[in-house]
C-alpha cells in the first residue's frame, strides 16, 4: 500500500459544480496534513492545512478522519481558475535517522469546464 494515495483523475467538472478529493494515508502516526495546489509547470502552493476539527476557507473545506486515515478537500461552486492539480501532503513525523518524513500524494488533476 502506498503511504499516501490519491485518485489521479482527471476530474472534469462544469463550472459551478461541487467536487471532492480524497486522500488516504497509511501511517497512523502522521501528524499534520495539507492540501497543495499545483498549476502546470509551477511549484506547489499551500491551499490549506487540514485540522482534526475540519476547516473551511471560502469555497474550500478540508476534513481529516484519523480513524479511517483519510483527508478530503471539497470545492464548492467550481471556477475555471480552480483548474489545477491538487496534492495532499502528509507529515509522518520523525522517520528513521531523525528526519521529517513528508510524503506527497500523486495529485488529482481537476479541469473545470465552461
Partner 1 sequence: GAVVSQHPSWVICKSGTSVKIECRSLDFQATTMFWYRQFPKQSLMLMATSNEGSKATYEQGVEKDKFLINHASLTLSTLTVTSAHPEDSSFYICSASNFRLNTEAFFGQGTRLTVV
Instruction: Spell out the residues 6+ positions from residue 13 whose beta carbon is closer than 8 angstroms to its own.
Output: 19, 78, 110, 111, 112, 113
Q: Which of 72, 107, 110, 112 binds partner 1 (CB under 8 A)?
A: 107
Q: Rounded to an integer, what distance in angstroms lies between the CA atom of residue 87 and that of residue 103?
A: 10
Part of the chain binding partner 1 (CB under 8 A), chosen from 14-22, 31-39, 56-64, 70-78: 31-39
* Nearest approach, Cβ of residue 73 and partner 1 (Å): 15
The verdict on 92 binding partner 1 (CB under 8 A) reads no
The DSSP call for residue 42 is S
The verdict on 1 binding partner 1 (CB under 8 A) reads no
Part of the chain binding partner 1 (CB under 8 A), chosen from 52-60, 66-74, 76-84, 102-110: 102-110
Which cell is 43 given? 511549484
Amino acid at each position: 500500500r502506498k503511504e499516501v494515495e490519491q485518485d489521479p483523475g482527471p476530474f472534469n467538472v462544469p463550472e459551478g459544480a461541487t467536487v471532492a478529493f480524497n486522500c488516504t494515508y497509511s501511517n497512523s502516526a502522521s501528524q499534520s496534513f495539507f492540501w497543495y495546489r499545483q498549476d502546470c509547470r509551477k511549484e506547489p502552493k499551500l491551499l490549506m492545512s487540514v485540522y482534526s476539527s475540519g476547516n473551511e476557507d471560502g469555497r474550500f473545506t478540508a476534513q481529516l478522519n484519523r480513524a479511517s486515515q483519510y483527508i478530503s478537500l471539497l470545492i464548492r461552486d467550481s471556477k475555471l481558475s480552480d483548474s489545477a492539480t491538487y496534492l495532499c501532503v502528509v507529515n509522518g513525523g520523525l522517520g528513521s535517522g531523525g528526519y521529517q518524513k513528508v510524503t506527497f500524494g500523486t495529485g488529482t488533476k481537476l479541469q473545470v469546464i465552461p
